[in-house]
Structure 1
Amino acid sequence: MADAGAMEMAVEAAAFARERRAGRPPRSRMALYLLLGFSAGLPFYMFNATLLFRLTRHGVDIVTVGFFAWVALLPAFKFAWAPLLDRYAVPGFARFWGRRRGWIMLAQLGIAASLGAMAATASDRSLPLTALFATLLAFWTTTLEVAADAWRIELAPTAAAQGPLVAANLWGYRSAMVAASGGAIWLSTLGGGDSWGLAYAAIAVIAFLPFPILAAMPPTGEGGGRGVALATGLAASGTALLASGGIAAAIGWAGLRLAVAAGVSAKTNVTIPVLVLALAPFAALAALLPAIRRLAADAPARRSAAIGPYVDLFWSYGFQTLPVLAFVSIYRMGDVMALTLSHPLFNALGYAPAAVGVADSWVTIPASMAGVALGGWLGARAPLGRTLAVGAAMSAVSNWAFAWLARAPVGEPALYGAMAVDQFGHGFAGAVFVIYLSLLVNPRFPGAQYAFLSGFAFLLPRLLAGASGAMAQRWGYDGFFALTGAMSLAAVLLLPVAIRARPRADA
């Protein structure tokens, strides 16, 4: 299957190269990544900002809402299962549509099923059930991203080639993300009552729409009958969905029992223990860095299916890895923190759900797409270091817009203005950042290494996001967003070192 996957990637990459040599924009690839971005972006807000808004509307206290932000920590650990996507294939789907597309189709089934379960439990009477289905939604959304990111890096190994694909992918991702949020909030207001079940069910249906489009595509794997491949893939997917649900439920049940036994409650400060546990695997690799640097080029640790991609990253960049990881860990700080408490801020200020729905759709979609377009264009043509610096400044201003909103007189123009600034700035920074991370990875391990770097990029922000409710309670929303904007701007201090990082010559 590895040889078949390599052949599949070679064919795709050759077609992509021919398009570029012919002077034509890679329209087919851009359309594909617009679709994949839409597929991944659609469910993202549904386990993040929209869910937090839903919980606040149901009277859940702000500290507990902050704990739910830790569901978004799961993507930070996608490196734990990313090597599986490089090593194994989904039966049926992969044989006909290829390994990468097979995983994407399985992930879409998981996304639709998880959203359906969240619709069925939309009353939030059982917060453990809400947390379980939100975690499953985060898992399958992240799995889709891992497969799509690996495919993109294999198809486009240079900054010039990455620019159009990244822009198309983020157009789909961010527009679907904010449209789903605005659409879900608007649907929740229908009938004059609490219609969150309808909102999540509608997003589940829309999230499933790309599946038949992918299933109708011509074969890219070893061929065989489309009907047999589809039936086999659906059977394998059903088994995978049941297994993932059972494993998540068992882990969640055990975690809750341990938390209760330890006396953890909504009033307990668990930020430091969670921080220590989450950083442990990364700290272990950093501690082993001197030994990793001394490994031979053909050392077994570098060839291991489980840890090889991550050992290779530290082996290739050496001590440069540390400032690179520090840079990526704070660059997107503002984006994550703004996402966590922006909607609770709107609720606290008294904005109606209908106004928030308009802000999340008609205002933010064009602003986000404009930011992504400019970021992708400059990232492919201008010096990357300068563009990253501009992105950090824009991310800071985006958060400061919410600090201003917290003190401004309540009015829809103020809300729409703050949201437009936020989405434009974070769209620009996001596009440039994806290009930067994509150029750091070894083409031998595109899925796993990109998963590691992009996961670590959001680890510290999402850890802090779990304590965001307590922070806002202490300093107020204006103080909270002023601080997180300053954190984003601090990335510029590490940029001169991070942008010069190069892999060793014998890598």
Structure 2
Amino acid sequence: MSPTQSGSESWLESSKIYLHPRAITLFFLGFSSGLPLLLVFGTLSFWLREAGVERSLITYFSWVGLAYGFKWIWAPLTDRLSIPLLSPLLGRRRSWLVLAQVMLILSLSGLAFSNPLENLKLMALLALLVAFSSATQDIVIDAYRIESAGERLQAAMAATYMAGYRIAMIVAGAGALVVAAWASPIADAYSVDAWRTAYLCMSALMGVGLVTSLIISEPQPVEMDQETLEQQQKVIEFSERMAHLPHGLSRFLGWLYIAIFCPFRDFTSRYGMQAIIILALISCYRISDVILGIIANVFYVDMGFTKEEISKIIKVYGVVMTIVGAGIGGILVNRFGVMKILFSGALLVALTNLLFAWLAMVGHDTFVLTIVISLDNLSGGIATAAFVAYLSSLTNIQYSATQYALFSSVMLLLPKFLGGFSGGFVDNFGYIWFFTGVALLGLPVLILVWMAARVKQKTSEKQEVQEPVTDS
């Protein structure tokens, strides 16, 4: 057999990772995760504006998105709290998934039967309930993914999750508008019944996630390691010292110690001062594409691109390229490991951001826009798949939901903050210098990836030394 044939077969074997049952499962769970997002943002805003609601009131609805940014606050509940009746029947992860998805179906149905012209406050509360249930579902899906497979499969599962997620966003965005237009008795006229039909259809599509959660298998129960057992013993001792307090209060304080303090302490104790390097990488890895994304739509308008051109090239074709990039990233991580692809992804993202400077010089040119979006979204998909796999490898399976929720929140804080200054920078220096500067921001990320790779290697070597040697 020739080396070429061997290499081809090796690539073919690597691509078969997407036939793994867990990878297929994450596609459907990704669809369930992506569906609610636009239904409380873009699509809901369209409905409210068409109903004649003031813009200032509509923008207040964006605050429901805070639920996604602060999900780490209640993530410990999904790690430690069992749900009566459901948990004994389905297991810890599946019971929380089913509960969140049932809440989503009910709250979306509630939105469908509400009327913004009669009770806007009720719609706001229902939108908040949708966002809270959606964020809870995201927490549990991330924990389920981490506990279901090893590091090499994580990127493939992230890729299929992203594919399902992006498809669901198209369905919840363009799809919901199409249904509302079809159900309207008069073309281009507001009809509350038309929107009711659209949101009921979206609520029914949440059944995809619910059915998936009911038929998949529960991850293997996590056995408590020695450190966790020691922490529990400390809690028992603490409860004994707090015996003078009401019994319920002392137990609650002990639960808080295990559910909230221990996950954070576990991370810092495992990595020590090197945790600073890891947190720096987490907070900076997506800095280039997040900052660019904040001003991207403004840039397209300033370059003279029409709504039709933006929707076709960016909103549809760009999504497809992101899915393709994530798929390639999953194969590459399975073949070469996480850190090499994490580095390559960061480099590609920085380089492709320079292409936007080229587009700024060229101006309105759909061919150039297509090239830029193709390469940028392809690189972003590869980088994201590797990054999700890296974040998953950092979590202790004892606290998977809590720690991953914290990581996913930290990764957006700095980019979102700096992105707020992007408009002022463009006003003063122009788009060419802005995109060049954003690309340069990606260079320190490469150094952090290299440093984090050394941390990962040292940690692996330390674990190997600590493992007991047994006779064969």
Provide the TM-score with structure 1 as the length reference. Answer: 0.66
**8 Å contact kept, 1:111–1:204:** no
**8 Å contact kept, 2:40–2:130:** yes
Aligned to 2:212: 214
Alignment of 1:390 with 2:344, yes or no, is yes
Picking from 141, 144, 147, the partner of 2:140 is 147
CA drift of 1:308 comes to 0.9
Q: 2: CA distance between counterparts of 1:30 and 1:135?
A: 30
Q: 2: CA distance between counterparts of 1:131 and 1:220?
A: 34
Picking from 372, 376, 385, the partner of 1:422 is 376
Aligned to 1:96: 89
**8 Å contact kept, 1:189–1:195:** no
**Matched AA of 1:214:** T
Picking from 264, 276, 296, the partner of 1:310 is 264
Q: 1:320 to 1:489 in 2, by over 3 A?
A: same
Query: CA offsets per residue over residues 209-246 of structure 1, 9 Å max, x none?
Result: 3145237637869xxxxxxxxxxxxxxxxxxxxxxxxx
CA drift of 1:122 comes to 10
Please give the secondary structure, in 2, of the residue aligned with 1:89. Answer: coil
Aligned to 1:170: 162
Query: CA offsets per residue over residues 86-139 of structure 1, 9 Å max, x none?
Result: 112344443433321222233234445565677789989999998766655443
Please give the secondary structure, in 2, of the residue aligned with 1:410. Answer: coil
Q: 1: CA distance between counterparts of 2:77 and 2:374?
A: 39
Alignment of 1:85 with 2:78, yes or no, is yes
Alignment of 1:372 with 2:365, yes or no, is no
**8 Å contact kept, 1:375–1:432:** yes
**Matched AA of 2:321:** A
Q: 2: CA distance between counterparts of 1:391 and 1:373?
A: 13
CA drift of 1:428 comes to 0.8
Pairwise mapping of residues 483-498 of structure 1 onto structure 2 (< 5 A)?
483-498=437-452
CA drift of 1:451 comes to 1.5
CA drift of 1:148 comes to 1.1
Query: CA offsets per residue over residues 342-379 of structure 1, 9 Å max, x none?
Result: 33444555544444332355412431121011111111
**8 Å contact kept, 1:184–1:200:** yes
Please give the secondary structure, in 1, of the residue aligned with 2:455. Answer: coil
Please give the secondary structure, in 2, of the residue aligned with 1:374. Answer: helix
**8 Å contact kept, 1:179–1:361:** no
Aligned to 1:263: none
**8 Å contact kept, 2:94–2:214:** no
Q: 1:154 to 1:219 in 2, by over 3 A?
A: closer
Aligned to 1:434: 388
Question: How many pairs were matched up?
Answer: 410
Q: 1:51 to 1:218 in 2, by over 3 A?
A: closer
Q: Which fold has the larger relative contact order, with Cα–Cα distance below 8 Å and residues 6 or more apart in sequence?
A: 1
CA drift of 1:322 comes to 0.5
Structure 2, unaligned stretches of length 5 or more? 1-12, 220-229, 236-253, 468-472
CA drift of 1:85 comes to 0.4
Q: 2: CA distance between counterparts of 1:476 and 1:130?
A: 41
Q: 1:187 to 1:25 in 2, by over 3 A?
A: closer
Query: CA offsets per residue over residues 407-437 of structure 1, 9 Å max, x none?
Result: 5433544444443333212111110001111
**8 Å contact kept, 1:53–1:344:** no
**8 Å contact kept, 1:186–1:354:** no
Q: 2: CA distance between counterparts of 1:406 and 1:56?
A: 32
Q: 1: CA distance between counterparts of 2:170 and 2:357?
A: 21
**8 Å contact kept, 1:153–1:446:** yes
**Matched AA of 1:86:** D
Q: 2: CA distance between counterparts of 1:179 and 1:423?
A: 20
Q: 1:137 to 1:82 in 2, by over 3 A?
A: same
Picking from 406, 409, 423, the partner of 1:452 is 406
Q: 1:219 to 1:497 in 2, by over 3 A?
A: closer
Q: 1: CA distance between counterparts of 2:434 and 2:55?
A: 18
Q: 1:167 to 1:212 in 2, by over 3 A?
A: closer
Aligned to 2:20: 27
Q: 1: CA distance between counterparts of 2:175 and 2:448?
A: 39
Aligned to 1:201: 199
Q: 1:472 to 1:40 in 2, by over 3 A?
A: farther
**Matched AA of 2:94:** R
Please give the secondary structure, in 1, of the residue aligned with 2:140. Answer: helix
Alignment of 1:36 with 2:29, yes or no, is yes
Please give the secondary structure, in 2, of the residue aligned with 1:490. Answer: helix
Q: 1:400 to 1:76 in 2, by over 3 A?
A: farther
Q: 1:372 to 1:304 in 2, by over 3 A?
A: same
Aligned to 1:359: 313
Q: 1:469 to 1:84 in 2, by over 3 A?
A: farther
**8 Å contact kept, 1:367–1:423:** yes
Structure 1, unaligned stretches of length 5 or more? 1-19, 222-294
Q: 1: CA distance between counterparts of 2:437 and 2:418?
A: 12
Aligned to 1:343: 297
**8 Å contact kept, 1:39–1:173:** yes
Aligned to 2:273: 319
Q: 2: CA distance between counterparts of 1:335 and 1:195?
A: 38
Query: CA offsets per residue over residues 161-186 of structure 1, 9 Å max, x none?
Result: 32432332222223433554454577
**8 Å contact kept, 2:17–2:156:** no
**8 Å contact kept, 1:77–1:455:** yes
**Matched AA of 1:449:** Q
Q: In percent, how many aligned pairs have the same letter?
A: 30
Q: 1: CA distance between counterparts of 2:417 and 2:205?
A: 28
